[in-house]
């Protein structure tokens, strides 16, 4: 039987893990943020290069990178007059690759291709 202390530790770990997964899910929930993360899998990049690569404005890029920093999945590394962004943990590269390798069975009656998901 679990002690009250062990049960409390398990509860804290579960809440911590679920909060981290929720932040990661939020980071991936926007197509632009997902594309940024996929680009950063290849290595660090500066915002202007990312904006050009993804075809978005620098303001949009700034906002999305701020969100990704807040979610804890990217970090900024100032270098001279430029700031480089990279994945906050090298294991995110493998995690994103694993997610790309997933095959999901989607119920067309539930999730529509036009993005109007009713799930």
Residues 88 and 73: beta-carbon distance below 8 Å: yes
> What is the Cα gyration radius of the chain?
18
pLDDT at site 33: 97
Q: What percent of the chain has pLDDT over 90?
A: 64
Half-sphere exposure of 119 (CA within 13 A, CB side): 10
Cα 112 from Cα 16, distance rounded (Å): 32
pTM over 0.85: no
pLDDT at site 14: 73
20 or 76, which is more confident: 76
Does residue 7 carry a pLDDT above 60? no
Main-chain phi, psi angles of 114, to 5 degrees:
-80, 5
Q: Please name the residues in contact with 96: beta carbons below 8 A apart, sequence gap of 6 or more.
A: 37, 38, 41
24 or 104, which is more confident: 24
pLDDT mean across residues, the chain: 86
DSSP string over 47-77 = HHHHHHHHT--HHHHHHHHHHHHHHTSEEEE
Cα 36 from Cα 28, distance rounded (Å): 10
pLDDT at site 1: 47
């Amino acid at each position: 039987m679990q002690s009250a202390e062990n049960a409390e530790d398990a509860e804290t770990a579960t809440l911590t893990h679920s909060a981290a997964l929720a932040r990661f899910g939020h980071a991936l929930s926007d197509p632009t943020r997902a594309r940024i993360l996929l680009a950063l899998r290849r290595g660090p990049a500066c915002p202007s290069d990312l904006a050009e690569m993804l075809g978005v404005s620098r303001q949009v890029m700034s906002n999305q990178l701020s969100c990704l920093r807040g979610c804890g999945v990217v970090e900024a590394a100032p270098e001279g007059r430029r700031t480089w962004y990279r994945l906050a943990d090298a294991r995110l590269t493998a995690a994103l690759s694993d997610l790309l390798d997933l095959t999901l069975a989607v119920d067309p009656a539930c999730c529509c291709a036009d993005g109007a998901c009713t799930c």
